[in-house]
Chain A
Amino acid sequence: MAVIHNPDPSDSKQRGVTRLFYDARIRSIFIQAITLALVLGFLGWLTLNTMTNLAARNLSAGFDFLDVSAGFGIGFTLIPYQESDTYLRVFFVGIMNTLLVAAVSIVLATVFGLIVGLARLSNNWIIATLSRSYIELIRNTPLLLQIIAWFFGVFVLLPRPRQSVELGEAFFLNNRGFYMPAAVPEPGFGVVTATFLACIVGTIALAIWARRRRDRTGRHFPAFFTGFGAIIVLPLGVHLALGSPLGWELPELKGLNFTGGVSVPPSFCALIVALSAYTSCFIAEIVRSGIQSVSKGQLEAAGALNLPANWTLRRVVLPQALRVIIPPLISQYLNVTKNSSLAIAIGFPDLVSVWMNTSLNQSGRAIPIVAMTMAFYCLVSISVSLVMNYYNARAQIKER
């Protein structure tokens, strides 16, 4: 009540202001308003400058150039592309190439990383040390350096097509790239494909049924092996019964170069080798930490229950190790996709190279091109984080 009886008006006023200043809610609104104003002001200043600059250089920031013919060739494309095609098609060519590099590297890196990670845990000292030094050596040198070293130091120096390195008469490696046979489907191959797809669907259904039955009755049905066997055996049987309706087109040396078959340029090989080697180190460490995270007591408990060895692995160790392994593994996959953008250093036409470099220099539309590239990578990483959140929610330990 002292405030009310205070005869000095200035003091009470000051107290009001002070109270306002120390009121957490008002203060937070005040701070946020100032920050927002500063950031918006800064962005506005940037936009204003950009508009002035664009006007001064006679540039436009619209997306209308997407329909214009690009007019440059691309060395390696997955979807058909000609010089007269539009910029929009260039964008998609780049995306496809980026995704191809990412997919191939992810598969190779996972397989190799698993091997190295298990070797790191080996109780053989020499194997463990060997894989540890491999990991340290590769992890502590820059990826870009490795890509460039593989490209300039190995794949460009390979012999000419006439003296190609032959791998079993069907695969050729030379300084123009890597050549392998192409599959040519003949009539009747559709039936094989259909059988294959049907087997996959059937296996999934079988797995769901087996799990339900196990939950209901406690009886186990080996759905995994049955399904896996069916996926391999049935399509193969149909394939052979129809007289192998799949032809192989082998690459042949004609003149100075190979024709036929499928080929990838040296830059692709260098990128894949470097990217998979680099990523496999990180995956190896993830695998190691995942397996080490399963406590010894779990193994002993499984032994006490007299579980067979493969059940111990499949029902006790793997489910717990995978919970630790999968989240960082997925973020490594995302990293591979982002790192594939280093392709530009050795001239492989991925998204950054054909779109952010060539197309940007040709059309001069910096803003839409940068925005589209970033949008693509953001889209990839948002979808990956959605998958990850879904997995984390499912794999979380459910406490009772």
Chain B
Amino acid sequence: MSDAPLIFSPKPDRPAPADTVGLLGWIRQNLFKDVPNALMTLLGAYIIFVVTGAVVNWALIDAVWSAESRRECLDQVGRAGACWPGVAAWFKNLIYGLYPKDQVWRINLGFVLLVLWMLPLWMPKVTSKIGIGLSAVLLYPFLASYFFLGGEKALVWTALIALGLCGLIWVWSTALTETLVEKPLGSWVIGRLGVPEADERRQRQTKLICAALLFVAAFAFVSLWSLSEVRTRLWGGLFLTLVISGIGITFSLPAGILLALGRRSDLPVIAAMSTLFIELFRSVPLITILFMFNTMLPLFMPTGIEVNQLVRAIVAVCLFAAAYMAEVVRGGLQAIDKGQYEASSSLGMGYWQTTTLIVLPQALKIMIPAIVGNFIGLFKDTTLVSIIGLFDLMNMARAIGEDTRWLGLFIEPFFVVSLIYFVFCFAMSSYSMGLERKLATGRDRS
């Protein structure tokens, strides 16, 4: 035994085998692991080559870019290439429908306003996001529907539009004060006016007076406007699709939550009625509901009340979407642990406090993917309104092939429209995945 202490000194790690690292290693692992794998790779590459080649050839290389009619396109390339001039000639109709050309700015402005309204929701320093979101759901529709519809406005209607305008002004002034001076709008205004902070009653009065002044100013401003009426018969294209799905989405979430709560309620009558409604609307196809409302809604209304076809379609879509949303929300409610209910009632919370503060936030959070999935389904399902004769995006695309100049031009418009639908749906699902990751607190801690 020697006295020198033995010290363990490890040799440096050997590098990983060259065929498992880097690009080459990745290719070998994922594409050419063994013979069947290599064959699959070749087959896959061949399929990709053939499909993309065919699409690129048809859509770009062999395509006709300028022509007066489909006849000209066919004379030039036959069916080998796409005939884009037809789609280009109808592109405005695909987006806006038959909306009068000189009034199209109203649609654009309407959607710009929506973007403006929602923009503060993504600003990091803004704190009153719930208020902004609620105002977008409750007040924006008044403003937008006047932009889209136009026409005569009675006193109440003017007041509602003014309320919408006030909402927009409030959203942006709140966003600005909260970003720039990091104070809520109310306290900033009060600070500016020099109202003493201790006097709560005077503060409330000041706020009310300011709100009233704003409303009066908006009312006066709105009553100066007059936009010509555009009948809903002329609505169409992507615009109509977005209007129907937008209304469906904003209606279905709250209605679905109420129905789901109703179905799980302890009150037997309410539970039974909610269940009946949900099951009835979920077990029949949307098209039967659309047909039912299309033929029966005029019968249901008192004589003399005409229900416009767009309204019939929207009512059907909303009720259908609400029933589906209810089941999604119910799934989320069922996933909440019983301990959460018990803990909140031991804190002395009542039914509504437990539901809105404890249960729903958790239930909705875990159901985000399913809820967005439902929204995507609803967006795709709006194509069904074409069957009862509305000219949504898809029906407008079909109408191109029935135009005498572009007779039989179906594939090209469908291609473009599919891309539009795909972009919308894919964006929604990607956003929901991002949101899911962002909100995943307390789970997947590993």
Binding site for B on A (CB under 8 A): 28, 31-32, 35-36, 39, 46, 49-50, 52-54, 56, 122-127, 129-130, 136-137, 139-145, 148-149, 152-153, 338-339, 341-342, 344-345, 352, 356-357, 360, 366-367, 370, 373-374, 377-378, 380-382
Contacts and interface: CB of A to CB of B under 8 A. Distances in A.
Nearest to A340: B285
A149 B414 CA distance: 6
Among B267, B269, B270, B282, which residue has the most Cβ atoms of chain A within 10 A? B269
B48 interface: yes
Given A126-B45, A141-B425, A153-B411, A366 B287 contact: no
12 contacts: A46-B300, A126-B31, A126-B45, A130-B44, A137-B422, A140-B425, A144-B387, A148-B398, A148-B414, A153-B414, A342-B287, A366-B299
B299 A31 contact: no
A338 B381 contact: no
B283 A352 contact: no
A125 B41 CA distance: 8
B380 A142 contact: yes
Given A141-B418, A142-B383, A360 B30 contact: no
Contacts of B40: 122, 124, 126-127
B273 interface: yes
B296 A367 contact: yes
A387 to B, nearest CB: 14
Interface string B171-189: 0000000000000000000
B292 interface: yes
Given A49-B299, A144-B384, 18 more contacts: A31-B270, A32-B268, A35-B269, A49-B303, A52-B302, A123-B33, A124-B33, A124-B40, A125-B31, A130-B44, A141-B422, A153-B411, A338-B284, A342-B285, A352-B285, A352-B288, A370-B295, A382-B283
B421 A144 contact: no
Contacts of A373: 284, 288
Given A142-B380, A352-B287, A149 B411 contact: yes
A141 B288 contact: no
Contact of A377 (B284, B298, B380, B425): B284
Interface residues of B, number: 54
Contact of A344 (B44, B283, B287): B287
B429 interface: yes
B132 interface: no
Contacts of B398: 148, 152
Interface in B23-60: 30-31, 33, 37, 40-41, 43-45, 47-48
A52 B303 contact: yes
A220 to B, nearest CB: 31
A140 B283 contact: no
